[in-house]
Chain A
């Protein structure tokens, strides 16, 4: 990470890179190269993203009119269940970690690969096997428990292939555990000489925090879904109220993972934003240690707030108060990050390239998503908005406005490194704008709907809610277009795009110091790190 820019005189397309070193299906399906595995994940999650998007589109079409007229209520319930399952477990959780994290972490720390390359490939296969179970369930009639699998609905009443879906998620969970484990071990043991913990890029810090959650949280959801499965298959009555079991206990176990899982989705996106904001402001990050520790604080505090999903589940008033208090605390590190990103831009040299446009969008939408989270942490208000469209809007601001904006920003930022080609800037800026507009049109009306009292997961609704629902559906179609455009031009650029230089953004990141695309072992000469990350300027000033 030298302070000066590297002149862009090196050969544009190295003769040997990880993409052309070998050809043939076998060379991909049996690869142990973290970069190729990242691309395997990219292909799979892109499929699931559009599948989940298709379900979303059908949901929005149904909600265009108050009556339940497009599909049957059972079909509708299956649609939102499959939308949630596919988007959360098969797209969002693996999205940034398994694609960008896999591709970049070894390069950012100057390693040749992750610590366990075979385990990395195994993670992808486990993901595929889990996905196959879930897809089998989708094709054979779906499942209608909601992605939350609440008992006793899931164990005693629901229709469809609950067990196949649960088994699919259970298996995929191990993919996530192994990825997290691989990242932690890699970050601990494989850093290049001179790369101390406080010289790590913030992308690596945020993935470290994410991996902690994957490793510590995922086993709990796995065993919980296992309990649901055996209850359904063998009639073991672990959550059955008829035997004295407690269905709310399931919710505790479920949210013990699934709340931290939200941070699995957003922390990596925060890592992307830290990289993008610094590169396109040509500034070192404001408050490096605060941003780094904020990631860890989010991961740790995130395990202590699950009870805020149960403010109206009859838990004791005092438990509610403790969970409310802790939920406010977990909001603070997120606020710290937003302020630091904004401060980083101050007196920077700000480029309006596409990744930065996504970062602008992320900061704005994540701020709204985070602040509306405070409404839900506030006990007296949560009672009213709990399980309404307010919550739907809130978590889509975090997961779509935050995580997916971060993912798309990151994809644009690192596309030259991944593919060795430049994407078309004009189209990309246009698509970013469409995504931003479509997103807000889709989800902002849902805040209003939620406060009005429209419950989530409603197939039909009272007619006075129609106007807002029509706005939301209109927005969703715009958003859909916004997601298809990048698909097209990324694919187009692989063949027709301009060759990318090693470091098109003049970033200081270690991953930009090697060729685009990189060779199999990433660096021709193992790098040695001599300074902190994001050092663009030779001198610096005190602000504030």
Chain B
């Protein structure tokens, strides 16, 4: 490979010479990598706007009902929330290590790090499920069964708070589930030895996605669990 920018390529996906992962319509690996990175970042921009809608709604209602929202956030379990925050931050580390291992060509380390990430992700979802169960048991799920244990004057805006809580954390959890799905594909492909130090774009792009989902939680945690807890 004298010039990586001008690799020969063959018919429909299968290069005549050159590595098998250069798709037929790209001129070079550099071009292919640029396209993937730009595409992933653009996708994350759409994700920011997607969550942005909910964050906007949250901000407006928090502005309208500050006392009720502060009161409602006292019904969150901060210990579980903090644990989950820690779990996700560590999972970001293991994910970064997986990407690093792939880039450094240490193919044996990829799968353990991916598995650790998946384990932590599952732990997060497990803890989240416990929290949900508790909330539902205490009639904090909005709708006809909602019953607010705090001062009744706050009951209705508090229901709004829990509507937002379930919508935002639910959407986040859905992203976690999708992330776990992507990671399991990566594990399977890694076992087949698809990724090399030279080409591991899927791992890198999945890493970006995973970090993004973690960052969303980093915003959700203080907004839903912490702000206003100590206001009286």
Chain B residues within 8 Å of A253, by CB? 53, 56-57
Pick from B23, B39, B53: contact of A219, CB below 8 A. B53
From B23, B43, B46, B142, contact of A236 by CB (8 A) = B142
Residues of chain B from 6 to 40 with CB closer than 8 A to chain A in the complex? 12, 23-27, 31, 34-35, 38-39
Q: Which residues of B contact A32 (CB under 8 A)?
A: 12
Report chain A residues within 8 Å CB of B164.
238
Q: Is B166 on the interface with A (CB-CB < 8 A)?
A: yes
Our pick among A116, A117, A222, A249 for the contact of B39 (Cβ within 8 Å) is A116
Q: Which residue of B lies closest to A227 (CB)?
A: B167
A219 contacts B50, C-beta separation under 8 Å: yes
Q: Using an 8 Å CB-CB cutoff, how does the interface string of B109-149 with A read, 1 for contact, 0 for none?
A: 00000000000000000000000000000000111100000
B49 located at the interface, meaning its Cβ lies under 8 Å from any Cβ of chain A in the complex? yes
Q: Are A249 and B50 in contact (CB under 8 A)?
A: no
Tell me if B81 is interfacial: C-beta within 8 Å of chain A: no
Please determine whether A235 and B50 come into contact, CB atoms closer than 8 angstroms.
no
Cβ-defined contact, B57 with A227, below 8 A: yes
Stretch touching chain A among B60-68, B175-183, B192-200, B222-230: B60-68
Beta-carbon contacts of A169-190 to B below 8 Å, as 1s and 0s? 0000000010001101110111
Question: Which residues 149-194 in A have Cβ within 8 Å of B in the complex?
Answer: 177, 181-182, 184-186, 188-190
Contact, CB under 8 Å: B61 / A244:
yes
Interface size on B, residues (CB 8 A): 42
Given A223-B54, A253-B53, the answer on whether A189 and B167 have CB atoms closer than 8 Å is no
* A122 at the B interface (CB under 8 A): no
| SS class, residues of chain A in contact with chain B | helix
18 pairs, CB–CB < 8 Å, chain A vs chain B: A181-B42, A185-B39, A188-B34, A188-B38, A190-B31, A219-B47, A219-B49, A220-B49, A223-B53, A227-B53, A227-B57, A230-B167, A236-B167, A237-B163, A238-B167, A242-B156, A244-B61, A244-B156
Evaluate contact between A189 and B34: CB separation under 8 angstroms.
Answer: yes
Report the minimal beta-carbon distance from A260 to chain B, rounded to whole angstroms. Answer: 12
Docked Cα-Cα span, A237 to B167, in Å, equals 10
A511 cross-chain contacts in B, Cβ below 8 A: none
Docked-complex contact A112 and B25, CB < 8 angstroms:
yes
A188 to B37, CA, bound (A): 12
Given known pairs A216-B49, A236-B167, A244-B65, the reply for A117 and B160 (CB within 8 Å) is no
Known: A185-B42, A236-B166, A243-B157. 18 other contacts (CB 8 A): A111-B25, A115-B39, A188-B34, A215-B45, A223-B50, A223-B52, A223-B171, A227-B53, A234-B166, A236-B163, A237-B159, A237-B160, A238-B160, A238-B167, A242-B156, A243-B142, A243-B163, A244-B64
Whether A185 contacts B35 in the complex (CB less than 8 A), given A236-B166, A245-B61, comes out as: yes
Alpha-carbon distance between A224 and B45 when the two chains are bound, in angstroms: 17
Give A100-113 as 1s and 0s: 1 = Cβ < 8 Å from B's Cβ atoms: 00000000000111
Q: Quick one: which of B46, B56, B64, B170 contacts A181, CB cutoff 8 A?
A: B46
CA distance A242 to B144 in the complex (A): 13
Report the bound CA distance from A272 to B159 in whole Å. 50
The answer to whether B46 touches A113 (Cβ under 8 A) is no
Q: How far does the alpha carbon of A223 sit from the alpha carbon of B156 in the complex, in Å? A: 23
The interface of chain A, by Cβ under 8 A from chain B, is 32, 111-117, 119, 177, 181-182, 184-186, 188-190, 215-220, 222-224, 226-227, 230-231, 234-238, 240, 242-246, 249, 253, 520-521, 526
Residues of B within 8 A of A217 (CB): 49
Contact yes or no, B54 A227, CB < 8 A: yes
B25 touches A117 (CB 8 A): yes
- Asked if A226 and B171 make an inter-chain contact with CB atoms under 8 angstroms apart, the answer reads yes
Count chain B CB atoms within 10 A of each CB in A219, A226, A230 and give the residue with the most.
Answer: A219
Q: Are A215 and B163 neighbours in the complex by a CB distance under 8 Å?
A: no
Query: Sorted from nearest, which 10 A-B pairs have the closest CB atoms?
Result: A235-B143, A236-B163, A223-B53, A219-B50, A113-B25, A112-B25, A219-B49, A115-B35, A189-B35, A219-B46
In this complex, which of B52, B144, B163 has the most chain A Cβ atoms within 10 angstroms of its Cβ? Answer: B163
CB neighbours of A112 from chain B (8 A) = 24-25
Question: Are A234 and B156 CB-contacts (below 8 A) given A181-B46, A185-B38, A245-B61?
Answer: no
